[in-house]
Amino acid sequence: MKVSTLALLAVPATAFSQIFSPLSNLLSLTPQQDDISLIVTDDNSLPLKVTSADKFKLKRSGVNFIDITDHETWFWSQKDTPSKVPVYNYPTNVTSSEFVTDLIEEINKDNLRFNLAQFSSFFSRYYKSENGLKSATWLFHKLTSIIEEAKQSNPDLQVSISQFQHKWQQFSIIVSVKGQETPDDIVVVGCHQDSTNLLFPTLLKAPGADDDGSGVTTNLEALRILLSSSQFQPSNTMEFHFYSAEEGGLLGSMDIFRAYNEEGKKVVAMLQQDMTGYIQKTLDNAVEEHVGVITDFVSPQLTQFVKLIIDSYLAIPYHETECGYACSDHSSALKNGYPSSFIIESEFKYTNPYIHSTGDTLDRLDFDHIREFVKLVLGYVGELKDHKFKVLGYNEVS
């Protein structure tokens, strides 16, 4: 049966959910009009109208989604014309091992612990809360101090920091190191800064030490090391993104990558760091310590390059794993036509069971494991900073 876009938008929220979604039994029956969002839970279903409470119910049930409320026109246009994601000539062997190895020697686990202790000390980093704004402000000042210190030893570095404002309180942050030869080729390292407690998001603590304080800490330390190196003068533009509102349905990263797409920006690679510190469940199951490499809803060719970095620079191997639709901010990049990849602390079945609760705390994490992910970022940036990107073809994303 064919249903027009206008007809769909005219359907009441509850009827919309009950007609089109097998998830309807989870959703609110009396939504308030000022609290309705439009979400998608997979590539083949129609959007759902849901409330904020519905969102938490879905996430508690393990259902990921993208909130397209502010990008509805884009969603329907993509249905007619799916995005084509370029396939680039990613390196098939490493060429910057001396540079990367020297950087790896500078990793400081005390920095990792201190930064994560500070960042996870906020009552919550919920993106709609005052503490969400305060934590973003702390992170912005931390990044600014890293940049200012680096400029003293590397004054020729063209690095900038900016706040990307959204309609909610917590802003996203972008640190950009301008490329000296091909500045239009942008390499992105991402993570999300918000946290949430899925039981009572506005009442209970959400330290978010692993989700995603560990990813933020990983990228902070990698960025500090890169910027302090006098040899770091990249040909391509290197960006570190700290997204707001991932837990609300990839809201922050979708705003950013929609803006990039509309501005015609060229992102040639995006690596997402979301949860890098928990290994206890892996050890309890007598499985070797490893990096989880996500293989679904990613760019296969870029993911193959990430495997090369792990094999070349890390002390632990990778295990392939899947995490489903819209499970982190790499999905926003891919949906907007940019190649993306995602790695996580382990195979998905061994990841941290305490996330989205008061129990996602610093004491449950392993900083030697986080150190391996810092190595990964350093290797990824080190090998792509001067790479000459060429388009080999395209992958279609529905």
Q: Are residues 51 and 124 in the same domain?
A: no
Q: Are residues 374 and 335 in the same domain?
A: yes
- Whether residue 156 lies inside any domain: the answer is yes
- Whether residue 79 lies inside any domain: the answer is no
Q: Are residues 279 and 137 in the same domain?
A: yes
192 is catalytic: yes
- Whether residue 73 lies inside any domain: the answer is no
CA–CA dist 252, 258 (Å, integer): 10
Q: Are residues 131 and 179 in the same domain?
A: yes
- pLDDT, tens only, 253-285: 999 999 999 999 999 999 999 999 999 999 999
**Neighbouring C-alpha atoms within 13 Å toward the C-beta of 167:** 6
- Whether residue 70 lies inside any domain: the answer is no
- pLDDT, tens only, 126-176: 999 999 999 999 999 999 999 999 998 888 889 999 999 999 999 999 999
- pLDDT, tens only, 306-363: 999 999 999 999 999 999 999 999 999 999 999 999 999 999 999 999 999 999 999 9
Average confidence (pLDDT) over 228-251: 97
- Whether residue 346 lies inside any domain: the answer is yes
247 is catalytic: yes
Give the active site residue among 246, 255, 345, 383.
246
211 is catalytic: yes
Percent of the chain with pLDDT over 90: 85
Enclosing domain of residue 45:
5-63
Q: What are phi and psi of 77, to 5 degrees?
A: -65, -35
Is it true that the peptide bond before 211 is cis, omega within 30 degrees of 0?
A: no
- Whether residue 249 lies inside any domain: the answer is yes
CB-count exposure of residue 312 (10 Å: 0-12, 13-18, 19+): middle
CB-count exposure of residue 58 (10 Å: 0-12, 13-18, 19+): buried
Q: Are residues 351 and 296 in the same domain?
A: yes
Give the active site residue among 241, 290, 330, 356.
356
- Whether residue 159 lies inside any domain: the answer is yes
Q: Are residues 49 and 92 in the same domain?
A: no
- Let me know: does 66 contact 335? Beta carbons within 8 Å: yes
- Whether residue 78 lies inside any domain: the answer is no
**Token digits of residue 192:** 């999300």
Q: Are residues 356 and 298 in the same domain?
A: yes
- Angle formed at CA 331 by CA 6 and CA 178, multiple of 5 degrees: 115
CATH of the domain at 380: 3.40.630.10
Q: Are residues 206 and 353 in the same domain?
A: yes
CA–CA dist 298, 321 (Å, integer): 12
319 is catalytic: no
Q: Are residues 58 and 90 in the same domain?
A: no
263 is catalytic: no
98 is catalytic: no
Q: Are residues 137 and 26 in the same domain?
A: no
- Number of structural domains, the chain? 2
Q: Is the predicted pLDDT of residue 56 greater than 50, yes or no?
A: yes
Q: Are residues 54 and 162 in the same domain?
A: no
Give the active site residue among 54, 210, 239, 247.
247
Give the active site residue among 67, 211, 212, 372.
211
Least confident of 49-58, 213-222, 255-264: 49-58
Q: Are residues 154 and 220 in the same domain?
A: yes
Give the active site residue among 166, 192, 241, 387.
192
**Token digits of residue 221:** 């330390």
CA–CA dist 260, 267 (Å, integer): 8
Give the active site residue among 274, 329, 360, 366.
274
